[in-house]
Copies of this chain bind each other. A is one copy, B any other.
């Protein structure tokens, strides 16, 4: 029957490249999937779920090494649920901190936009009045 998706299909549907999928496998983030009779990888639902989780954790800044550690806990079964939960709780705090920081940075960017809007207007006035202009900090 030879079920499952090819590496190209998984790449397409996850946004990762085939190269990256093989790299994740080598790095211990993905279990080696079964192969078709041609020796090609065949990914199943489990693999896709794992890849999805990995990409989300990566995009929140979790490094490969910690993902590997987490995946090893998964392989050790239910007994490590507590540890995995702790990994997630710790990571959650980091993500919240990122959001907090980004929100502050957004305010700074808005401030900058407002300053530039002002400067632009002043500049336009100065130009139309044919006067001289000033300097600016940053």
Contacts and interface: CB of A to CB of B under 8 A. Distances in A.
Interface string A84-122: 111011011001101101110110111011001101101
Copies in the complex: 2
A118 to B, nearest CB: 8
Interface residues of A, number: 48
Contacts of A3: none
Interface stretch (A11-19, A33-41, A130-138): A130-138
A109 B88 contact: yes
B92 A138 contact: no
- Chief secondary structure at chain A's binding surface: helix
Nearest to A102: B99
11 contacts: A50-B137, A57-B105, A60-B105, A74-B136, A82-B136, A84-B116, A88-B113, A91-B109, A92-B113, A99-B99, A102-B102
